[in-house]
Amino acid sequence: MTIFSKIIAGEIPSYKVAEDDKFYAFLDINPVNWGHTLVVPKEETDYIFDIDDATLGEMMVFAKKVAVALKKAVPCRKVGVTVLGLEVPHAHIHLVPLQKEGDMDFSSKISNPDAEKMQWIAKNIAEEFNA
């Protein structure tokens, strides 16, 4: 079971922002920028391009809905999209609010982000998602 499956199962806490029957979205615990969100399929697959076409399409549509909510909750020029997957073997899409290119710098993360601020951001994104 991956760490993300444990999060989806509620065994490990997360700053949840959205969920449906197939996908789950939550804040990255070491964000590259405030509002950095991960979108994961509930079914475990390591490499994103091993996911079947239909599910991958649904995952991107779910990520789009999250990105729309994220952009309202965390004002930005655009929401950037990245897939890395080098650390956690459970496919996920990174969504990052961008004002400038440097806001998507994965070599410079916010370590120990303030828990209250993370909770507040997650709540605001969730409210926009469910509006």
- Among all residues, which ones are annotated catalytic? 92
Q: Is residue 81 a contact point for ligand AMP (CB under 6 A)?
A: no
Scanning the chain, the segments in alpha helix (DSSP H) are 3-8, 53-73, 115-130
Separation between Cα atoms, residue 98 and residue 78, nearest integer Å: 5
- Which residue among 11, 20, 30, 52 contacts ligand AMP (CB under 6 A)? 30
Size of the site for ligand AMP (CB under 6 A): 12
Q: Is residue 14 a contact point for ligand AMP (CB under 6 A)?
A: yes
Closest approach, Cβ 109 to ligand AMP, in A, equals 7
- Give residue for tokens 């490499």: 47
